[in-house]
Each structure stands twice: as C-alpha cells, then as structure tokens.
Amino acid sequence: MPSNPRDGVHSQAIIEADVIVIGAGLSGLVAAAQAFAAGKRVAVLDQEPSASVGGQAHWSFGGLFLVNSPEQRRLGVKDSAELALGDWLASAAFDRPEDSWARLWAEAYVDFAAGEKRRWLRSLGVRLFPLVQWAERGGYGPQGHGNTVPRFHVTWGTGPGVVQPFLAKVNEGVARGRISLHFRHRATEMTTTAGGVTGVGGEILGASGAGRGEASSRTVVGRFEATAGAIIVTTGGIGGNHTLVRRQWPDGGAPEHMLSGVPASVDGAFLAAAAAAGGRLINGDRMWHYPEGIHNHSPVWPSHGIRILPGPSALWIDATGRQLPAPLFPGFDSLGALRHILAGGHGHSWFVCNRTIALKEFALSGSEQNPDLTDKDIRLLVSRLNPGSDSPLRLFLDRGVDFLHAATATELAAKMNALTGSALIDPAQLDSLIHDRDVQVASGLGKDPQLAAIRAARRFATDKIMRVAPPHRLTDPEHSPLLAVRLSVLTRKSLGGLQTDLRSRVLDDSGVPVPGVYAAGEAAGFGGGGIHGYRALEGTFLGGCLFSGRAAGRDAAASV
C-alpha cells in the first residue's frame, strides 16, 4: 500500500507498485503518466516537498527544439531533418567509443523533433509562441557548431506550460488510486533479488514548508522500502552541487566563483546508487554551464543566478577588458565563450552596451522572469515591445548588483573596477574599443564581423521585431547611458549520465541492460548517456526529458 501523499507523513514504510519513478521532475512526470496510461500502478518518489513538483522544468523558459515547424515556415525559415541532424552532429562532436548510443539517440530525437513531437504536444494542449528564437548561432563555417536556422520555440506558458499536461495526468492517476506520490522520500540505494533490481530503499525526510525551489531540510525521520517490477531513475543532474561540478570539471578548471542556475536539490546524489547497482555512468566531464549568469536580486535558492539570453550587439569583453574573438559574439557559442573566458584565468566577463541595446536585446531565462509568456498575458506581452515599460528586466537594470551605468567609458571602467575590487579594466583601452566600434558603425559598411552578424540577424523577422537593435553608436546620446554587465559562470545542465539504449533501459559496463532499471531526462544525459555530446543546440533539454521519459515509461510498463 502507498504511503499518505501529504508531505512528511510516513505512516507506512513499505511501498509497492508495478513501476517506481524516482524524481518528480518533468521526465519523471512524463514516465509516470505513460506507465499509468498503460494501466500500471505507479509510485513516484521525490526528496523535495510537493511544492517543487515539476523540478527544474517549472523554472525554465519553455524552449523546445523543433524542426520544419509551421511556426518556422510562417517566418520564411527553411529547415529539414537532414539540416538539423547535420547541425546536431557538428555541435555534438561525438568522439568517444561510448558515444555510440548517444548518437543513435540524437538521430532518433531529431526525427522526433521534425515529426511527432509538435503534434503530440499539441494534442496535450501545449501551444507555442509564434516568433521562433535563434539560439547558438555558431559562426564556424558550414561544418561547425550552431543552428543554421532558428529552432528555439518558446512554449506559451513557458516551463509550467510544458509541465502542466503531464502533472494533470499524474493527478488523474492519483485520483483513480493508481499513482501514489511520496514526497520527502529520498531514495539512497537500489535493492536486488536474484541478480535483478527489484526496488529501492531510502530515507523519509521531515515535513518541510519550503516553497518551490527553496532549500529544504535533510532531517531524517524514518526509512522506507519500495518494490516494483521496474525502476525509472529521473533524478536529474548535478548543477546544484558545486562540489561535484568542480570534481567533474574538465581538467579541474572550474572558476572560484559560480552561480547556480538550478536549486540545491539538483545534487546528483542518486546517480552513484544507480552506478552501484550496475549502471554505467559516462561523460561526466561534459556539462552545459553558461558564461552569462547574473545574480538574482531576489534569490530563491542558494547562489541563485539568472541567465541573460542576449542579442548579438553588446561588446563581450573578458575580465581584463579584451574583446572576445570572432565568432564569440553574444548568443553564438556558449561553450566556446566559456572556455575562452576561463582560459584567461578569471571567472567573470562583461557585456558592454547602452540602455537601448539592453532593453531591446536582453531577455532573462526562466518562467518567473517572463510573466507575460508564463501567464499567457497578451497585453503584457505587447508591452514588451515598448522599451519604457516596466518589466523584470527593468528591475535588474535598476537594482541588479551586476548592472553598471555611466555617461562615459572612463566613468564606466572605474565602476567596473570598483565592483570587482581590481584594476583590471584600463579606462583608455575601454574608451578606445568603444570609439573604434562606433567608427565602424558610422562607416555604414565596415570590417567588423560582429556588425556583419548584427545586420544579417536583422534579416530574420523575429530578430528585427524583438531581439536585435538597429546598429548605432554606443555613445549616441539618444541611446545613453553606457551600460556594463558583470557576467559570472552559471551552473545548469549535466550532458553525461547513465548510458541507456533507445528503450531507456540502463546499460552496464558490458552494454547489457541492467534488469528492471530505466533512466530518463538529465540522469540519462537526456538519452544514451550524452545525447548532446559536447554542445547543446538549445531547446533540447525539455524535449530530451519528454522524449526519454516517454520511452522509459512505455517500455517499463510493457516489461511488468
């Protein structure tokens, strides 16, 4: 019999089901909904209170990678599965023997994104914002990293809009007595019988009133055992566990200071238990962290950071004031920019622009920072096009600790140095960079590849309407004041994880499925132990949870 689903109530320490799902994030909800739809009894375990159901997906911008969609076609975008797969493989750069399953997952996922994905989500009530965004633009030539065309489709309702239909299905299962929810149940180990995994054991944590995303207590008040014919691991990645992030950072090069783009509960703790039961963990050094993080002025979790989704016009300079080389313009190559910044020996960098560019081109990632899209508020959405309107971005511009305003480059450099407690920014060098950039704009043509990229971007309707400002001098008084934004490394996603086959079955070191064990979402590297390889094309994380969670739920249900 299941335990009472109310937080912290653990009247029974024995849980029995056909399928156990460990983790109530998006991939876990999808897997549970699929298993329930197949007629199975499902138990969902999660260490957090019920307030955090939906996990990281709730906080997301709701971006979905789609290929040759009606939204693209209406904007004149010519896309295809062949073009998208070429972009994916060029960006992933698979180069390890253990990438074999990840590549198969990539091929299957691109087919899904070009075919069934949109129809399936639409049948569930998910709708899309019509202006497709262009993330990870690349710039390394036709065979290099990046999206050849825009593919980032924002969900109408952002992350909560993606979570809602699957949470509704799970709640239906609860109402019908076939799904039980066990919050504050932290799984710590898998149990085996006759060579197969038959259940999980763990700790019951004390009741917590922590709100969504807030750090909750780890006080243990009891233990539980759960048995089932199939176990699905959907416990997420490691982005909230900076100790583990540093341990897995390639060549030990993590910066001294990092912000967290995910709650502290994203700790990666259960991955070791899955490995102890025979699952193969791979590609732990492949992670997706952003170089454009800013401190949240109203933090929810420890070291809470927000990512700026930038247009291409700001000057991006390193901690010493040197401009990042082409094609490391804002929004073109997250990993390349991160590597370049950290290679200089400092953990921060800067966007330098003016207020006009910031209001036009800076978007903030996350459902809570986009109330117009999240709340499906058309009137508020229209006001986004008015640079003078109140918005979450305006709050950051006016109150954010990382945002500095000045009338001149010399004054701006002094404020930048004061904020970091250093003298790394040479005022004369910054003034020269801004002056020379403005000369290129004034020429009407110019030799600056960034200006060429800006003009090319404005050929695309979405960019011209809402994402890219017309080229102008940074020092033009009409667009003042000058603005500098300190950027920190923001932890976010694990690109590696438990290796799985296309049925989401966890594989052992010999490539053989571990009996009774599945994995989905970030815990599985979104499929195969690393579907993205080294780089993500964006909009692929939520989609990876959907695709792998669906596969895991269906196959687990069929196996019991």
The CB-side HSE value for 291 (13 A sphere, CA atoms) comes to: 27
CA atoms within 13 A on the CB side of 73: 6
Helix (H) or strand (E) holding 28: helix 26-37
Cα distance between residue 411 and residue 426, in whole Å: 11
Residue 13: per-residue pLDDT: 82
Instruction: Sort residue 321 into left (φ over 0), alpha (ψ -120 to 50) or beta.
Output: left
**Residues lower than pLDDT 70 in the chain:** 1-12, 385, 387-389
**In contact, 22 and 232? CB cutoff 8 Å:** yes
C-alpha atoms less than 13 angstroms from C-alpha of 388 in its C-beta half-sphere: 0
**pLDDT digit string (tens) for 403-446?**
999 999 999 999 999 999 999 999 999 999 999 999 999 999 99
Look at residues 548, 505, 556, 506 and name the one whose alpha carbon lies nearest to residue 527.
548
Q: What is the pLDDT of residue 384?
A: 73
According to the model, what pLDDT value does residue 387 have?
60
Whether 228 and 17 have beta carbons less than 8 Å apart is answered as: yes
Taken as a whole, the chain contains a residue count of 560
Whole-number percent of the chain with pLDDT over 70:
97
Give residue-wise pLDDT tens across range 285-316.
999 999 999 999 999 999 999 999 999 999 99
